[in-house]
């Protein structure tokens, strides 16, 4: 599960923001790793997403310290492509604020989607409960505009995409249980349309991608009554029109917990859906496996693949590269396709071909848990971001808190 609360409960504690950056070559462990970078302070710091700009990368997530319990802030950091600190920002004070996603924009700037349940002056929950904020920046990190979205209930944002404005997705509780929530805004953040979809249970959108004639939205659906036939949760794939009207939907799952974490539109108009399955019918290697499902433009399954080891392997992201795809997540398995895990858990990267067959596998980690959430490629290398609970990562890297955001740049082979 992931930042939505399905996989990891984020229990943060916050205070004064001091960021430490220590780089390392990491060649003691893996010659393909060009550099590693810790971002953190005395509490817990997690990078949930990153965006590649012309002169560097922007990493966003959540930050805290040990002084005030249950207090988290938005973390934004820009690094050069060589890992040098260019700037860092923190938004928030008391209460809960956090950034879940960032997207490069057509004007070479970027947009950040965050949540807030506090009365902070910078990004307060203006409507009630928990609200969503969009914050638009130029490439230098100057704020151009910000807008708040929500209701008296509880809303969250988990992904966004640029498309003649922006579409962000997540969930809302304004109808009772959680429902899929989609909001399309123009380039200045003004709402164009807003919609929600749900069952009698609990539903959430976790990722979105543009299609030629609309959008693919994926996440999970949980029935109100759980039984051995329907399982605890299923992957939920939605095709919606440009105006947000449902075109088709598909549930994919077995007798346990299954959820989609990312979606990527393919050249034939269909999509690749990446997720994690604990169901016996879909998980073939261990307790939980990566699952990749190829759907055509009508929602029919063309192929389905599972990847993993003998323990838990949790999928997060899929990206396209020149000759295939990269799948990224976290492994607790001793080995995956013969590649050994380094520590408690490792960043797991799989390269697959167009048919979903494995080309190579890489495990990147240190002594304790390292959990990956985001990936982006520039064609020659790829950047990974997540959180590390290891006290060091290679000989010259050190962690400064309970858990630090960890960014890696790795040679693409």
- For the chain, give the mean pLDDT: 88
Gap between the Cα atoms of 68 and 387, Å rounded: 21
Reported as type and span, the H/E element at residue 48 is strand 45-53
SS3 95: coil
| Cβ-based neighbour number of residue 52 at 10 Å | 15
Gap between the Cα atoms of 173 and 289, Å rounded: 30
DSSP string, 11-41: --EE-S---B--EE--TTT-TTEEEEEEEB-
Could you tell me the end-to-end alpha-carbon distance of the chain, in angstroms, rounded to an integer? 29
Gap between the Cα atoms of 153 and 173, Å rounded: 6
CB 325 within 8 A of CB 319: yes
Determine the number of helices (DSSP H) and then strands (DSSP E) in the chain: 0, 33
On the CB side of 99, CA atoms within 13 Å amount to 30
pLDDT per position as a tens digit, 312-321: 999 999 999 9
| Cβ-based neighbour number of residue 378 at 10 Å | 12
Q: List the one residue out of 13, 153, 24, 36 whose CA is nearest residue 405.
A: 36
Whether residue 120 has pLDDT greater than 90: no
Q: How large is the average pLDDT for residues 144-152?
A: 95
pLDDT per position as a tens digit, 244-260: 999 999 999 998 999 99
Q: What percent of the chain has pLDDT over 70?
A: 87
pLDDT of residue 396: 46
Tokens of 297: 């433009």
pLDDT per position as a tens digit, 42-68: 788 999 999 999 999 999 999 986 666
Domains of the chain and any CATH numbers: 13-411 (2.130.10.10)
Tokens of 17: 């923001």
């Amino acid at each position: 599960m992931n930042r939505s609360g399905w996989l990891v409960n984020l229990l943060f504690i916050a205070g004064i923001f001091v960021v430490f950056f220590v780089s390392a070559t990491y060649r003691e462990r893996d010659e393909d790793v060009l550099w590693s970078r810790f971002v953190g302070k005395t509490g817990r710091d997690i990078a949930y997403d990153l965006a590649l700009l012309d002169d560097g990368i922007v990493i966003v997530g959540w930050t805290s310290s040990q002084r005030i319990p249950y207090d988290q802030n938005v973390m934004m950091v820009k690094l050069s492509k060589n890992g040098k600190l260019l700037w860092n920002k923190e938004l928030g004070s008391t209460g809960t604020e956090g950034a879940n996603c960032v997207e490069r924009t057509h004007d070479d700037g970027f947009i950040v989607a965050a949540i807030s349940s506090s009365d902070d002056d910078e990004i307060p929950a203006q409507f009630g409960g928990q609200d969503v904020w969009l914050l638009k920046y130029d490439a230098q990190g100057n704020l151009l505009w910000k807008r708040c979205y929500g209701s008296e209930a509880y809303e969250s944002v988990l992904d966004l995409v640029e498309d003649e404005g922006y579409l962000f997705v997540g969930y809302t509780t304004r109808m009772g249980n959680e429902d899929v929530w989609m909001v399309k805004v123009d380039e200045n953040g003004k709402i164009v349309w807003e919609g929600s979809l749900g069952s009698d249970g609990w539903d959430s959108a976790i990722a979105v991608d543009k299609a030629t004639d609309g959008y693919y939205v994926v996440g999970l659906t949980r029935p109100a009554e759980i039984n051995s036939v329907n399982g605890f949760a299923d992957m939920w794939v939605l095709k919606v029109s440009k105006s947000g009207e449902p075109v088709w939907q598909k549930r994919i799952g077995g007798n346990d917990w299954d959820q989609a974490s990312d979606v990527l539109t393919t050249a034939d108009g269909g999509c690749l859906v990446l997720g994690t399955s604990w169901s016996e019918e879909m998980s073939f290697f261990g307790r939980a496996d990566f699952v990749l499902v190829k759907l055509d433009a009508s929602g029919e399954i063309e192929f389905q693949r599972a990847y993993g080891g003998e323990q838990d392997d949790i999928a997060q992201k899929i990206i396209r590269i020149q000759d295939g795809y990269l799948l990224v997540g976290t492994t607790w398995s001793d080995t995956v396709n013969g590649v050994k895990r380094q520590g408690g858990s490792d960043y797991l990267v799989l390269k697959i071909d167009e048919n979903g067959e494995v080309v190579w596998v890489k495990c990147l980690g240190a002594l304790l848990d390292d959990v990956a959430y985001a990936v982006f490629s520039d064609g020659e290398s790829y950047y990974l971001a997540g959180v590390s609970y290891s006290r060091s990562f290679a000989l010259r890297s050190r962690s400064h808190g309970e858990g630090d955001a960890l960014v890696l740049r790795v040679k693409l082979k």
